[in-house]
Chains A and B, each alone.
Chain A
Amino acid sequence: MLPSTSKYEYVANDPQKCTGCQLCEYVCSYTKNNAFNSLRSRIRTVRVDEILITSLSCRTCENAPCVIACPRDALTQDPETGIIRVDDSRCDGCAWCIEACDFGAISINPSTKLAEICDLCENEEDGPQCVKWCPKEALELTTPDKRGQKKRRKLAVQEVIGAGS
């Protein structure tokens, strides 16, 4: 089966709102490692140019290529949430998962040399900490379907009531 990003929730970024402040990276790094290190963040901001700024983290693909690519079966996917879990005892940091990921959403932790993937802060009561901290509400936990719905509603409001309302 082909991989698909349509099913599960993930942390989406609205590039219109993202200012490139990187607070998400620092909060992620602290939440996961008790240390501030943007290279150990599981969400990464990307500054393509002065104004094209966004962030990327795990897109929770169905039939995730990273899981398929792992030669040591270190990666497994939660069928309910789509979250990819890394078994540290099996991962040897070969980075095949990084190569398989179409979104560049996986990285190797520079200290442990093992793969790290966003788990949507499944153990945090108030959900993904990057979403909680994003000062411009550019980040949200959502699905492609919900995003589509939101866009349709926005467009409908504009069509009916007039742009800018």
Chain B
Amino acid sequence: MTTLLIVQTAYLIGAICFILGLRGLSDPRTARRGNLIAALGMGLAIVASLFYPIADDQGNYLWIFGSLIVGSAIGWYKAAKVEMTGMPQLVSIFNGLGGGSAMLLAFLELRAQMDSADKVTLGVIAFTLFVGAVSFSGSILAYLKLDGKVRDKHVILPGHGWINLILLAASIALLVLLIISPSIGMALAALGLFLVYGFSFVAPIGGADMPVVISLLNSVTGISAATAGFLYGNQIMILGGILVGASGTILTVLMCEAMNRSLLNVIIGGFGTSTASSASQSDQDLSVQTAQPMDVAILLNYASRVILVPGYGMAVAQAQKYAKELDEMLSKRDVEMYYGIHPVAGRMPGHMNVLLAEVDISYDKLYDLDQSNDAIGETDVALIVGANDVVNPSALDDPGSSIYGMPVLEVWNAQQVVVFKRSMKPGYAGIQNPLFFKDNTKMLFGDAADSLKKIIDELKNL
């Protein structure tokens, strides 16, 4: 009795730690402490589980401590080694492992309880198996896509939306069958199908939609942990899982809103390619103005306020360190530089913030969408580094465009716009960007890191 009371109290404190930790994580000043509090809660939950009184305790502590040590070593090593540019991949793979763990646990519980369990328990087990498997295989594919090992076009089938619908229906059918007549064979068949569905579910979602799918998978993993908790009648598992599910859901909704698209629209798959053809026809009629690094350096030298809009291209070119160098140089000349961050810039929620924080840029210089749009009107120069669709004016004024209605950074309201770009190739959405042809826009062709470096060199001579 006493042990149980102590263990349950530890679980309760652990759960409170999760709540306080998440609250801390929603404010920059308390975020680091919040993370540590959540980790402390997790530590408490682990220790409590080691002492939890169970009817016929078999110990097996060798297995338990072995797994703890192996898992900690791998996790710690991966976390310490990862480059910030590899962060989206790492978050995906960690997330998949959590879902995979719930999936394996559901399988084991089914194997142990299939003759004795009632239908409700079987239903919970089967559902945990489903969400765990979807989170696992979906996250693995997301990881492969983010890491560039799998290209979107390799995994998208014609009519993929229908295929997914059929796979989902089949999965639900097997889930019900598994509840009605549970067996190892049935469980393995269901597991196989669930894994295929998870994979196929993520397959058509790519490129700029990755932030949505990563947050969605995060939420799915939380749900799998919560339903596993239901299975063990364990409150901290339920609470922890649901908190994660809720945070993942909020991020998913935020990302969808930032693109003015419904979740369903994202899930069914990418932007239409039909609009690309109509836009490309008018290409020849329009000409762009090009600039040299020297011109941009002069512009910057006489500016008083500069915005830099980063996109995925900045991460690819590793240009953030030069952004920082430019920032320092300009601040010495009393030029104020700030950064306009679109919520879906990059491949995961907050991707740009992480990259810029890595090079030591103070977070109060990172303006969100509304702050940026308020400030751009009084900005002299806008530098667009590796961003494209998030600065496309078509989103506001061209109802025929596939991104029409998406909130964008209205950089054209700055005195001068300089777009850093490799070539005239359109962005992820496959649509042309009228920003490039505006009178106050200049194109600076070449690798973003190179171009920034040249501008810095030119500035030194001014």
Do A and B assemble together? no
B interface residues (Cβ-Cβ under 8 A, vs A): none
